Amino acid sequence: MNSCPFCGGIYYNDRSFNFHLFNCNRNSMNNNEILDLASGRYLNESAIKEHALACSKQFRAGKFTRCGSDFVEEVKADVESVIREIRNKCLTKLHEPLATELVFTTGALCDKLQPELNALTARIIQNKVQSQPSCGCTLGRTR
């Protein structure tokens, strides 16, 4: 597993890591802040496991009865990747981003964004469960 020194991206094989390093935009980071969902309590791990086992029951006939920590870490990495894509969506072209202390988002926007992020995380988990190879009874990493 490799981590990009510029944006903090996590890559599981050398080929995708080298491709990313070649194309990584160093100026896309806001104040050089590294996004790391794995180190804090940003995602509810027990809810991830519960939803993964529910997806197993619904879509894989209950094949999987346990959820490994590597599965949860991979879900966190995928959600982090989506948030990083949002952050890198509008890059400045000529100058560094202008620093500001202003807050542009309101609580109403955060209230509307949370259900969308929950639905996105649920779809990530479901896709991982459905693409899991049928060996063993523990959900593990898929890459």
CA angle 131, 50, 67 (to 5 degrees): 55
Coil, strand or helix: which one is 25? Answer: coil
pLDDT at 26: 42
Percent of the chain residues past pLDDT 70, beyond the cut: 76
* Per-residue pLDDT tens over the stretch 11-62: 766 666 666 655 665 444 444 466 677 677 889 999 999 999 999 999 999 9
- Residue with the larger pLDDT of the pair 17 and 124: 124
Domain ranges of the chain: 42-139
Residues 83 and 37: their CA atoms lie apart, in Å, by 10
Residues 34 and 57: their CA atoms lie apart, in Å, by 36
- Residue with the larger pLDDT of the pair 3 and 86: 86
Arithmetic mean of pLDDT, 90-101: 81
